[in-house]
Amino acid sequence: MVGIPKTIDNDILFTDKSFGYETACAAAVQAIKAAHTEARSVRNAIGLVKLMGRHSGFIACSAALAASEVNFVLIPEVPFTLEGENGFLHALVRRIQHTGHALVVVAEGAGQEWFDAVGETDPSGNIRLQDIGSLLKKRIESYFTDRSLDLRFKYVDPSYMIRGVPANPQDSIYCARLAQSAVHAAMAGKTGAVIGCWHGHYVHVPIDLAVSRRKQVDPGGDLWRSVIESTGQPQRFG
């Protein structure tokens, strides 16, 4: 048995990217651009886009960098505070007062600390996540209403649309090469491994090692720093 790293969340160890990640990012950018167009079309509007990313915020980070219009990115790896002078909601109000609109991207697994743990799992055994998009929408609207601030809200959840798009050329080529490498590995007698492209080389990674922990965005790393520089948001809200 030889596996291929297929998950759009890009959260598998020892592979530069997983199959489907490039396509998901490209589709997510289109959703972000649509939300930005809606948000900037009226005064005091907020575009909120919820993207995939149960425990890893790679899609949210990469799509925000590619779109370049995003003002706030919230990911599972970086807990955030909603209320208070250093909280997300206060920063959002300042942005609206300064420019008249704002664009927020949130990964689906972000902000789970704001919910009571339910302990439910889906048929695959994954913990059921609470809906951070609906929570943010409710809290943002309440925060603005309490301060008598006008608000127009545009909420976009393109999850199934993104999951259902055909693979783009980069992912098609990548998957074909992963498949070829998997066949070569199997014909050479390898088993219990997954094919990964690590620093540009196709390698055989033992499955136990590949799933020993989850690949996540490093809050002190280059990717998150690039997001902070692109959005202008604080390093952390809290």
Q: Is 232 exposed, middle or buried (0-12, 13-18, 19+ CB in 10 A)?
A: exposed
151 occurs within a structural domain = yes
Instruction: Give me the pLDDT at residue 238, please.
Output: 73
Q: Which member of 9, 146, 157, 208 is catalytic? A: 9
Question: For 167, what's the count of Cα atoms within 13 Å in the CB-facing half-sphere?
Answer: 15
pLDDT digits (tens, 9 = 90+) for 101-142: 999 999 999 999 888 877 777 777 777 888 999 999 999 999
> Could you give the number of structural domains in the chain?
1
Q: How far apart are CA 89 and CA 144, in angstroms?
A: 9
Q: What is the residue range of 110's domain?
A: 22-166+217-231
154 occurs within a structural domain = yes
Q: What is the mean pLDDT of residues 57-69?
A: 96
Q: How far apart are CA 94 and CA 101, in angstroms?
A: 10
**CA separation (Å) from 64 to 49, 72, 114, 168, 230?**
10, 9, 23, 19, 8
Instruction: Give me the pLDDT at residue 123, please.
Output: 77
183 occurs within a structural domain = no
181 occurs within a structural domain = no
The count of other CB atoms within 10 Å of the CB of residue 62 is 24
224 occurs within a structural domain = yes
144 occurs within a structural domain = yes
pLDDT digits (tens, 9 = 90+) for 190-232: 999 999 999 999 999 999 999 999 999 999 999 999 999 999 9
pTM: 0.93
Whether 9 is catalytic is: yes
Q: 43: domain CATH number?
A: 3.40.50.460
Q: Are 76 and 215 in contact (CB under 8 A)?
A: no
Closest CA to 194 of 15, 4, 60, 49: 4
193 occurs within a structural domain = no
203 occurs within a structural domain = no
Instruction: Give me the pLDDT at residue 86, please.
Output: 93
